[in-house]
Amino acid sequence: MNKLLLYSRLVKFEHTIFAMPFAMIGFFMATMVTDQVPFWRLLGLVVASMVLARNAAMGFNRFLDRKFDAANPRTAQREIPAGHLTATKALIFVLVNALLFVGVTYLINPLCFVLSPVALLVILGYSYTKRITPLCHFVLSLGLSLAPIGAWLAVNGSFDLKPLLFSGIVFFWVSGFDIIYACQDVAFDHQYKLQSIPVLTGVKNALRISSFVHLLSFLFVVFAGIALDGDWIYWTGALLFGGLMTYQHLIVKADDLSRVNLAFGTTNGIAGVLFALFVILSLYF
């Protein structure tokens, strides 16, 4: 198997689509209020930092969970348990990506460089949390919610309310759909003493909690629109985003989890990209 493809499959590279659109929102918002921005250089560095950070995080998760993945029929064919990639090579991949991430932040600005270890602590630390708390979904979403803040800081170099509001959107959006995703493994997680909201509350109640969490995400969409003085383009994107969040709750039922992957990957991927596109268009037009 081609090595590039192998490592891409290890980290589910296509799932970069969850955080990247919101990094672009943070980036383009910052360029609107910051003078003399080296646009293309910073854009390339932001994209590189996002990819490297996510590679490190997902690679570490696969490394740390390799024994659980091997025991779970749903994940037994992942690259490490299937024998396509050794644990040592996966760990080296994580270290290389983490170091490159820190290096890229050094090229961005001193603040991003100083904060890079904090970002790594959050995104790598998530992999331990399923062993100790059912709130693990919110640690995952915390890591992804750094995307709009990090991109804003890369351009602007100072904190602001607007990217924080978009981070709130990501925080509740990701944790909500990760709760849905975790419903697939309730029996396995019970057996191996792994924790999650579905394990704690049962699948039916977990889906209700996910719905409430997604409602909070949409409230942040509204708050962000007010803060941006959003026009009809923004609110069109907001309605599409909210509609797609609602759609996944209509197709996933406690007694029928067959469409979890459709909800998790396809629906949320489309939601994030469409919302970012409309937000960025509203900034410029």
What pLDDT is recorded for position 11? 86
What pLDDT is recorded for position 1? 54
Q: Does domain 8-284 have CATH number 1.10.8.10?
A: no
Specify the DSSP class assigned to residue 16.
G
pLDDT one-digit tens code per residue, 166-176: 999 999 999 99
Under-70 pLDDT residues of the chain: 1
What pLDDT is recorded for position 156? 94
| Cβ contact 265:182 at 8 Å | no
- Backbone φ and ψ for 256, nearest 5 degrees, come out as -150, 95
Distance CA 113, CA 241 (A): 33
- The two tokens of residue 82 are 């299937």
| Cβ contact 283:162 at 8 Å | no
3-state secondary structure of 13: helix
* For the chain, the helix, strand and coil percentages under 3-state DSSP, each to the nearest 5: 80, 0, 20
Distance CA 67, CA 47 (A): 32
Residue 99 CB coordination number (10 Å): 13
Residue type, 121: L
Residues 6+ apart with CB under 8 A from 282: 228, 230, 231, 233, 234, 237
| Cβ contact 173:141 at 8 Å | yes
What pLDDT is recorded for position 62? 96
pLDDT one-digit tens code per residue, 224-243: 999 999 999 999 999 999 99
